[in-house]
Structure 1
Amino acid sequence: MKKYIKIGILVLIALIFIGTFVFLYQKSQPKDTKYDIQKVETTNLVQTTVATGKIEPRDEVQIKPQISGIIAEVYKEAGEKVKKGEVIAKVKVIPELGQLNSAESRVRLAEMNGRQAETDLTRMEKLYNDKLVSNEEYEKTLLAARQAREEIQAAKDNLEIVKEGITKNSASFSSTLIRSTIDGLILDVPVKVGNSVIMSNTFNDGTTIATVADMSDLIFRGNVDETEVGHIREGIPVKITLGALQNMKFDAILEYISPKSVENNGANQFEIKAAITVPDSVTIRSGYSANAEMELQRADNVLAVPESTLEFSGDSAFVYVLTDSVPLQKFVRRAVKTGISDGIKMEIKQGVSAGELVRGLKHED
């Protein structure tokens, strides 16, 4: 019995040894590696670049007051359309005490001078009617009375302006009524009733009452890298894709390339603008993020191969041309001269002929 057990153990050990030897032998044998084969074809290639940016109206105006005060009324809100000259808000003037006192004093003084001028005129008219004074003296007194009346009116108007920012005679030109300066859509009204506002002048930008834009004239504004800006020019067609409307593309025309670069994250970039054409049935909002695809170079009816078939070494490029496929694939390495690339295929200017087969990515059986 023990003899049979020993024989069984020896047989098992022998089988394990033989199996291990066969396994290691098979692992040591070279595998039959096969490659995908790609054909050299004649095609059209277009090299493009994509600039990132946003959509904005060409004309966007910030409406600012010409007088300081408090917002008394707001007649419009964001999203409403306005016409040029239409009132958006009303400002209530808060008079400065020094100016108010000066204006009131001017009125009192003008009225005093006016009463004296009227008295002098009454006296002069009596003397003139009695032919005791000359025409010249009478006319001088009459002129002085008229000037006094004008000064009274000017002083009262000035007091009204200081108090109310407007006079009764110039209500249509009131600076307290904030009007739109263009036809367009109100994008934003950042003020509310009760807010203080500062007038716009040489030394102060002033408080923005509203932002109005002509949304019928939109542009794409973005940036192009300095390595690509030399291949584009004003007037070329542009395809615009919006982040909010990804299933749609809009036609545009490149109309501006900045002559000066700006540094962005260590790279020199140039600002571009393109006029976009929007169908009436589509609503685009200001500030939409967008991508602009532009053609850099084009090559028609050229030989091309997938970029994955190329091997690069320094400034040289190579492909492996299929010479035999039975029983194993055989290739010959050949130098080629490349042209433009569309990101998938690359132009081959020299080194291969149409219809030749080149080595692609490998796969194992």
Structure 2
Amino acid sequence: MSKRAKIILILVAVLFAAVLIWFAKKNKKSVVQYETETPFKTTIVKKTVATGKVIPLEEVEIKPQIAGIVDKVVVEEGQVVKTGDLIATVRVVPNVEALNSANNEIKNAQIAYENAKTQFDRNKRLFEKGVIARQAFENSELSFNNAKQRLSNARSNMDIIKRGTTAGLGSAANTNIRATSSGMIVAIPVKKGYQVIQANNFNAGTTIATIADMNKMIFEGKVDESEVGKLIKGTDLEVSLGAIENKKFPAKLNFIAPKGTEEGGAVQFTIKADVTLDDNYFIRAGYSANADIVLEKKDSVLAIKEALLRFDKKTEKPYVEVKTGEDSFEKKELELGTSDGVNIEVISGVEPGAEIKIWNKASKDKKKKEDDN
């Protein structure tokens, strides 16, 4: 046999083998086996999470009654105080204009006093000699007493301007800053030497200390506008604190803001809830917290996993495929209820015990073919 004939035979053999392989692949059937799951009874709880913090229900800011410089702070943060306890003392820094005015007032009162005293002494001698009537003497005595009182008032005003107090005021001296309520000192934003001002029509005044009742705490957080309409006052919450692991504190919703604020393109609404404390834990003001809020709860309902669902491309209705025989499934449209993000309630469409196809076990080609159908 010639060399050319051998080459032709080899080519024919290779071509024949290739044709056989092609026919074998074309006629081969890909067998796809699906696993199944059955519906089950469960409790479905739909929740939302509000982020926020835990703060005291009542906080009182202690402010001075007079401007000056902090002379001494006698309490520390974390200390428990009662109403009337001394918090700090303030040293008054006199205002030059007020000081000059008070000084002039004293001088004027002194001149009026000396003049009234001279007249009173003269009228007294004349009255004793029977030269003037009693009425004239009493009038001069009244003028003298008034002048004496005005001089005393002017001197007291000078003392108040210079020292913040005057003789006879005792504990009422406004240089002593005292607690106006009982509780724990949670903040002292000033130190010795700080300049402070009193509250007035144009300024809220300098805060010397903040007192809070640490036995009454609330959760303050925010929820999205898509969920705020589902909230009801009196709803039970579970508050988790970032600083305390594996512990949840019960709370009750008592406030939902009527107006929202826009944050990051979404409208957020403030909520507040009374927190029930545990004596075994000390809750500090400002702890970051999350509150689990139950929006809807259904007990012992028929449910399936949401991963089993498919949606019709035309009608967008949810459906599953239920096994009817060996490797055969039937499409079943469903009426769905509450979902918790993992499981979803099935109102109608499948019965308990139905074997539902698990889609993620099929091949990609098979899925595509079935979706097209």
TM-score (ref. length: structure 1): 0.88
Superposed CA offset, 1:244-278 (max 9, x none): 11210000000001111111111112111000010
Q: After TM superposition, list the pairs within 5 Å mapping 1:165-314 onto structure 2.
A: 165-313=164-312
Counterpart of 2:57? 58
Counterpart of 2:360? 362
Q: Which amino acid aligns with 1:360?
A: I
Q: After TM superposition, list the pairs within 5 Å mapping 1:2-81 onto structure 2.
A: 29-81=28-80
Counterpart of 2:370? none
- 3-state secondary structure, aligned to 1:362: helix
Unaligned 5+ segments in structure 1 are 1-9
Q: Which amino acid aligns with 1:228?
A: E
Is contact 1:34-1:362 (8 Å) kept? no
For residues 239 and 217 of structure 1, the distance between their equivalents in structure 2, rounded to whole angstroms, comes to 16
- 3-state secondary structure, aligned to 2:260: strand
Superposed CA offset, 1:24-60 (max 9, x none): 9679955443334221123322211111111111112
Q: 1:110 to 1:348 in 2, by over 3 A?
A: same
Counterpart of 2:333? 335
For residues 26 and 284 of structure 2, the distance between their equivalents in structure 1, rounded to whole angstroms, comes to 65
For residues 100 and 59 of structure 2, the distance between their equivalents in structure 1, rounded to whole angstroms, comes to 41
Q: Which amino acid aligns with 1:89?
A: A
For residues 176 and 24 of structure 1, the distance between their equivalents in structure 2, rounded to whole angstroms, comes to 105
Q: 1:139 to 1:33 in 2, by over 3 A?
A: farther
Counterpart of 2:161? 162
- 3-state secondary structure, aligned to 2:234: coil
Q: CA RMSD in A?
A: 2.7
- 3-state secondary structure, aligned to 1:280: coil
Superposed CA offset, 1:95-144 (max 9, x none): 11111111122122222222222222222222222332222222211211
For residues 251 and 28 of structure 1, the distance between their equivalents in structure 2, rounded to whole angstroms, comes to 66
For residues 18 and 178 of structure 1, the distance between their equivalents in structure 2, rounded to whole angstroms, comes to 104
Q: After TM superposition, list the pairs within 5 Å mapping 1:57-136 onto structure 2.
A: 57-136=56-135
Q: 1:286 to 1:361 in 2, by over 3 A?
A: farther
Unaligned 5+ segments in structure 2 are 1-9, 364-373
Q: 1:95 to 1:23 in 2, by over 3 A?
A: farther
Shift of 1:339: 0.8
For residues 119 and 242 of structure 2, the distance between their equivalents in structure 1, rounded to whole angstroms, comes to 80
Matched residues, percent identical? 39
- 3-state secondary structure, aligned to 1:168: coil
Question: Residue 344 in 1 paired to residue 345 in 2?
Answer: no
For residues 74 and 104 of structure 2, the distance between their equivalents in structure 1, rounded to whole angstroms, comes to 36
Is contact 1:36-1:362 (8 Å) kept? no
Counterpart of 1:323? 324
For residues 162 and 122 of structure 1, the distance between their equivalents in structure 2, rounded to whole angstroms, comes to 33
Is contact 1:241-1:290 (8 Å) kept? yes
Superposed CA offset, 1:219-258 (max 9, x none): 1111111111111110111110111112100000000011
Q: 1:18 to 1:183 in 2, by over 3 A?
A: farther
Q: 1:119 to 1:39 in 2, by over 3 A?
A: same
Q: Which amino acid aligns with 2:333?
A: A
Q: 1:121 to 1:40 in 2, by over 3 A?
A: same
For residues 297 and 291 of structure 1, the distance between their equivalents in structure 2, rounded to whole angstroms, comes to 18
Counterpart of 2:368? none
For residues 60 and 316 of structure 2, the distance between their equivalents in structure 1, rounded to whole angstroms, comes to 53
Superposed CA offset, 1:179-221 (max 9, x none): 2222111111111111111221110122221122111111111
Q: 1:106 to 1:25 in 2, by over 3 A?
A: farther
Is contact 1:221-1:273 (8 Å) kept? yes
Greater share of residues in strand: 1
Mean CA deviation greater in 70-79 or 130-139: 130-139
TM-score (ref. length: structure 2): 0.87
